[in-house]
A and B are shown apart, each in its own frame.
Chain A
């Protein structure tokens, strides 16, 4: 499949671009949309405003109560969800073809005209705080928070608040904060909507125009790209959580590379060979040969939108195997760093990544995820068609140089969350 030929791109309204990809699936339609306004656009003093605003969109509009909205959707078996990611406000809907107009109208109504009732906000805050309290016992989440707070400075996009800080932020938010955020951030301008499935192009465009034309425009600027991570230091963070039979470990460091860098794909591939899937080195040694863990992997993260990110290895170990597990992991990372990847490994992983790309297009959700992520990153649709060529052009000797350019095995941050032995 060629994306450039299969995806129909339109701008039916100024500031709203649609990407339509009809497939042979019967009756089903999946829609996803996004616009600038994620958590990084919140008031700098309180980064929870964006996520509370999006979570309140289904709690009532100028014309419908929350129960009228949910009754309408559920009577069709349709679903609409709103969420804030770091940069974007995202929505996703699944419905049957016959219900598409109603679902589009409900998306538009909720995103354009929410009313943020105080009673609903208080209820939502109680639930969000409850979930945050529960996450204090989540070993994976706690290990990740510890890791990100160590490798990034407080103002970095990839820095993470503690649970207590998040709870404090949520408690102080009022419905006026949400109304102000909605009024100044939500609107046409950067809105992209992708749809896939049993869909007719003209019908979809017509309904988008019908329900979105009257929306106001916003002029939201993209975030500046330059953002430095913490200077690397060898460090260890430990969070003790009682009664846990398995601990989560993050080992890694900040990394001065973004997805826009010409070194990015090479580094991504090098790290994929270390820990990208089951047949990668970490799973083959630390799990398959030594039996120390159920799961271990390694990846680059936080490198999107021109920002430098980090790379990490994550694994789980029983409390009495933590030291052994970390030593085995570090040994494998050092072996990878010192000996480099082989040409044979690269050939194998090229077909893995290219084949995975093809397999990921098997569902409507997989298709539009690729399209929307691509457009959010300001890439031409042809990037998706050229992806295979980019992967195939990678050279193992260059990758080994890139690994040495960006990775420093002497300065890892290790974050552990779990129970002491």
Chain B
């Protein structure tokens, strides 16, 4: 093995290394099923690290990172999109609450290209004002497209209502006025605080040669020093919620949405496993409790819930997309009654077995293709422990009936809830 690296640990066929010169973390999983590899860089910075005036900066910066860097730019005829798409790579980047990731799915023989581009833009991105100006309107149109959707608007409102102090209050794309007005200097400052090898994890999944790839990572990322400053921690905590909160969005539309959110613990809290199982029991599939009581009764066209594990506290949200004419309150009452029933009467063993089977299959499917693995691993990296991905299923299997009742009682508490309604204003078009 390349002696510039130190092996840290292994779990679930994944090996972790540290580049000694700058503390870059590297995760590797070899799979030679197809001659394809995914290369991903996850930065430990997301909209969680923003505040008033520069919400959406992480995402806007992500866009600017494609505008050119020292070795890869239009002036040299080596623009990032051109270089990667000309080899057939799938390429993109995404930003979320706790992380920003940049990735390339490439034919295996082109992995060096992906590594060299990501290393170059880690510290040598141009971030020019003449690039920010047209990109701001691009991002604003992305925001506007999201605003077209009643679900997106309601979801933003629920988070903004449930979280008042903590930065999960604002969505990843940020507030429109911040997108329009944040300065290039502020974005550069953001870049210089967070885009360092010691605040990033590189993941390589698929068909690659390990020693050679480590040497390439050393060759390209090894030129960067670690940051001379400590990466700042977010210290804002959400004050205790003392009572149900409600938010209503009224707009032109055809049918309503009812949503109920409850605060959940940080993603690495042990209760998160039981919460994931509880979500499956309530909402996943046609056999789930709420599907039978809401969709099967013709009250909603569809139903889903999410309880993503985040670095800090999250939300357990159930969404019901109502059939035209269905009353929001009626569906809200059904959802809350079901929550109460679980708190009071618990769940059956068969329900837990079904939920665990669903999760077991989901975990297996999440290993179908190198990008699927990298993507799932990326979210575990974001919450602070990549082994969350490799140990997830084993922890899920340990969840008991008592755990479900306990977490339902602890987290599905009325005073910790935020109820959201989308009410359509049906207007003759």
Contact = CB atoms under 8 A, between A and B. Distances in A.
A and B co-occur in one complex: yes
Interface of A: 1, 23-28, 30, 58, 66-67, 70-71, 73-78, 94-96, 123, 126-127, 129-131, 133-134, 136-137, 139, 197, 239-246, 277-279, 287-294, 316-318, 321, 348-349, 351-359, 361-366
Contacts of B341: none
Contacts of B139: 294
Q: Taking each of B31, B251, B357, B367, which has the highest tally of chain A beta carbons within 10 Å of its own beta carbon?
A: B357
Q: Taking each of A289, A293, A363, which has the highest tally of chain B beta carbons within 10 Å of its own beta carbon?
A: A363
A290 B88 CA distance: 26
B87 A67 contact: no
Interface in B249-306: 251-255, 284-288, 292, 295-296, 298, 301-302
Contacts of B369: 25, 362-364, 366
Contact of A358 (B35, B85, B145, B254): B35
Contacts, number: 201
B361 A361 contact: no
A318 B354 contact: no
A57 B43 CA distance: 46
A241 B429 contact: yes
Interface of B: 31-36, 79, 81-82, 85-91, 105-107, 110, 133-145, 147-148, 150, 206, 251-255, 284-288, 292, 295-296, 298, 301-302, 321-324, 350, 353-354, 357-362, 364-365, 367-372, 427, 429
Given A290-B134, A321-B137, 7 more contacts: A30-B368, A74-B285, A127-B295, A241-B252, A242-B429, A316-B144, A358-B88
A67 B429 contact: no
A16 to B, nearest CB: 25
Contacts of A243: 251-253
B298 A362 contact: no
Contact of B148 (A240, A246, A364): A246
Contacts of B147: 245-246
A197 B135 CA distance: 42
B252 A127 contact: no
Closest 10 CB pairs of A and B: A355-B88, A77-B361, A291-B134, A363-B369, A70-B286, A291-B137, A24-B33, A246-B144, A245-B144, A130-B323
Given A246-B147, A355-B87, A355-B88, A75 B353 contact: yes
A90 to B, nearest CB: 19
Nearest to A246: B144
B287 A25 contact: no
Contact of B368 (A28, A293, A348): A28
A362 to B, nearest CB: 4
Contact of A364 (B254, B255, B295, B368): B368
A244 B286 CA distance: 33
24 contacts: A1-B34, A25-B367, A28-B365, A71-B354, A74-B285, A74-B287, A77-B362, A134-B301, A134-B321, A136-B429, A137-B254, A197-B368, A243-B251, A245-B145, A246-B141, A279-B86, A294-B138, A317-B141, A352-B86, A354-B88, A355-B89, A356-B90, A362-B369, A363-B369
A239 B107 CA distance: 43
Given A134-B321, A351-B88, A352-B88, A25 B254 contact: no
B36 A279 contact: no
B151 to A, nearest CB: 10
A291 B106 contact: no
A254 to B, nearest CB: 27
Contacts of B353: 75
B301 A23 contact: no
A365 to B, nearest CB: 7
Contacts of A71: 287, 354
A347 to B, nearest CB: 8
Nearest to B358: A77
Nearest to B176: A245
A315 B322 CA distance: 30
A31 to B, nearest CB: 13
B359 A77 contact: yes
B284 to A, nearest CB: 8
A361 B36 CA distance: 8
Contacts of A74: 284-288, 354, 357-358
A361 B143 CA distance: 33
A236 B61 CA distance: 38
A321 B141 CA distance: 10
B396 to A, nearest CB: 12
A58 B296 CA distance: 13
A75 B360 CA distance: 11
A187 to B, nearest CB: 27
Contacts of A278: 81, 85, 91
Contacts of B31: 24
A381 to B, nearest CB: 18
Contact of A318 (B88, B106, B140): B140
Contacts of A348: 82, 86
A245 B145 CA distance: 7
Contacts of A246: 141, 144-145, 147-148
Nearest to A289: B134
Contacts of B429: 136, 239-242
A412 B310 CA distance: 48
A77 B357 CA distance: 5
A294 B145 contact: yes
Given A197-B368, A278-B85, A242 B357 contact: no
Contacts of B88: 351-359
A137 B302 CA distance: 17
Q: Taking each of A291, A293, A348, A366, which has the highest tally of chain B beta carbons within 10 Å of its own beta carbon?
A: A291
A288 to B, nearest CB: 7
Q: Taking each of B252, B301, B360, B364, which has the highest tally of chain A beta carbons within 10 Å of its own beta carbon?
A: B364
A284 B91 CA distance: 16
A320 B207 CA distance: 48
